[in-house]
Amino acid sequence: MSRYLPLFPILLLLFVPLLMLAIRLARPRFAYFWLVAALGALLAWPMVLFTRTYIPHSLLLVTEPLGRTPLPAEFFPMSPALLVDPISWSYAMALVTLALAVILTDVARAADADWMAWAGSLAITALGLFAVLSGNLLTLLLGWTAIDLAELAILQIEVPQSSTREQIILAFSARLAGSVLAVIGVVIGAGLAAISTPSPSLTFTTISPQIRVYLLLAAGLRLGVLPMHTPFLGGRELRRGLGTVLCMVPAASSLILLARIASAGAPARWGPLLLGLAGLAALYAGVYWASARDELDGRRFWILGMAALSLAAAARAQMEASLALGIALLLSGGLLFLFSARHRWLLPIAGLGLLGFSGLPYTPAWQAMRLYAPPFGVWEFLFLIAQALFLVGYARHVLRPEPQLTGVERWVWVIYPWGLILLPLTGFLIAWWGRLSGAQFPTLASSWPSLVAMGIALILVVLAQRIPRLPVRLVSSLHSVFSFSWLYQLFWGVYRLVGRFLALINLILEGEGGILWTILLLTLLLSLLGQFSQ
């Protein structure tokens, strides 16, 4: 049974939403959906935790578990598989902890309580676990596709505004383009492997340098880093809980690929370009994160900027740094986005979230300081400024006045803080128990970037007091250029132009001369086919 342990939390988190749907249909007035969702998340959490004792562990999903005979290699070159190692276990723990925290903290948001939101959060988390536990590129692509389709369906239901739905379609198109780019890399890798060996292998341990850049670009495109863009990532129309899950799970499914590629890094000729683009994206996101009205408005910039830092670490072949930054994106960011009801006694928990990505010694993101390993260049200086901006923005959003957690029952005062503190505690657990085998923590002397970033953050705070507002026109101009909204509008204009052209053709063919036009087009088509055959 232990060999199937990675499947259990995935199946459980898929079964609980189906159970909730069946209960809803059988008993519409059932009042304990939150308890069902909480029990499902509570059972999945130790399942993922205990898989750490079986590392490394792999599981084929087609030939061995189902007892089927091996399929021909020409049609099925590799089987979908799950892989549990320190990298995948770390991301799986972060995702299942985030899902549990969402369910627990929803007790303080009675107005947003909805069984469909809880069911959707658990289902998306299950697909995210499938993606981060993937053992090869085929499984990861299947996970990406399932996440994108599920997210698209949920957003189409939850977001009624037509203008916002256009942004959803554009975001889906960008992620789909990233998946297509990864498929191109897989095809190229399969072709190269077929030339060199009789049985091509596309596991994460054998990623060839020729396709590494395709996978980096694919992950960067899905994360919004390459090219830099900020598509729809769960606006205010969505609740804090479900909206946070819909933002974090797709990000985690792409961050896992960056950590895999970081074992070798980017090709030498692509390194400076990737670092430059990641540095600009991180700096741009840091500015808007620090100046956002609140954490929900800045949520997409948090994901963009932290993902850019993780991509830069992957390009520099710093696996520990890429992993630490990715986990900090999920856990520290998730803590802030779920911190909806404030109280002075809860500020220390938010302080743990700030420490979680500060990079100070003995904190969860201490390994992230390997991003600044020698040689130190101009791009690394941009990363330092961006990290300082994220510190400023995080502290600003934590200290922002919010509705107090008052007038609630005592059991809410017990469950809600535990839902918050579970996130930073899991960060420490992953950093100290789930670290890569043989990986050593940075020395105290090499932790100087964290101190420099905090110093820059203090300077920025002082300057913000003296210069409270940046020129609005300059900031708006930068946003209109670097957000790539103009590019999306161009694509949308082309799409509408093609739609009008097809509508015109349809009008012509449906008219009185439609039959003559059809015969003419058929004749031209047959003529062209005859020319090509000759």
- The CA-atom distances, in angstroms, between 185 and each of 176, 178, 438 are 14, 11, 30
Mean pLDDT of 484-499: 64
Token pair 């998340």 is found at 41
Tokens found for residue 458 = 């203090």
Residue 220: which of 358, 88, 313 has the closest Cα?
A: 313
pLDDT beyond 70 at 506? no
Query: Could you give the CA distance from residue 106 to residue 235 in angstroms, rounded to a whole number?
Result: 18
Q: What is the pLDDT of residue 95?
A: 97
Mean pLDDT of 219-235: 74
Residues 6+ apart with CB under 8 A from 319: 87, 259, 262, 263, 313, 436
Tokens found for residue 525 = 């088509």
pLDDT beyond 70 at 237? no
Mean pLDDT of 482-492: 58
Pairing of strands 81-84, 57-60: antiparallel
Reported confidence tier of residue 200, pLDDT bands at 50, 70, 90: very low
329 or 343, higher pLDDT? 329
pLDDT beyond 70 at 413? yes
Q: In percent, how much of the chain has pLDDT > 90?
A: 38
SS (H, E, C) 304-338: HHHHHHHHHHHHCCCHHHHHHHHHHHHHHHHHHHH
Output the average pLDDT for the chain: 81
- The CA-atom distances, in angstroms, between 353 and each of 262, 334, 336 are 25, 9, 8
pLDDT beyond 80 at 199? no
- The region of weakest confidence among 59-73, 83-97, 335-349, 519-533 is 59-73
The rounded Cα 163 to chain-centroid distance in angstroms is: 24
**Helix axes 347-356 and 378-399, enclosed angle (nearest 10):** 170
Reported confidence tier of residue 36, pLDDT bands at 50, 70, 90: very high
SS (H, E, C) 463-486: HHHHCCCCCHHHHHHHHHHHCCHH
SS (H, E, C) 46-96: HHHHHHHHHCCEEEECCCCCCCCCCCCCCCCCCCCEEEECHHHHHHHHHHH
Reported confidence tier of residue 176, pLDDT bands at 50, 70, 90: confident
- From the number of C-beta atoms within 10 Å of its C-beta (0-12, 13-18, 19+), residue 395 rates as middle
pLDDT beyond 90 at 421? yes
Query: Could you give the CA distance from residue 126 to residue 141 in angstroms, rounded to a whole number?
Result: 15
Query: Could you give the CA distance from residue 497 to residue 385 in angstroms, rounded to a whole number?
Result: 42
pLDDT beyond 70 at 204? yes
Residue 371: which of 297, 454, 229, 265 has the closest Cα?
A: 265
Q: In percent, how much of the chain has pLDDT > 70?
A: 76
Residues 6+ apart with CB under 8 A from 466: none
Q: What is the pLDDT of residue 328?
A: 96
395 or 488, higher pLDDT? 395
Q: What is the pLDDT of residue 92?
A: 96
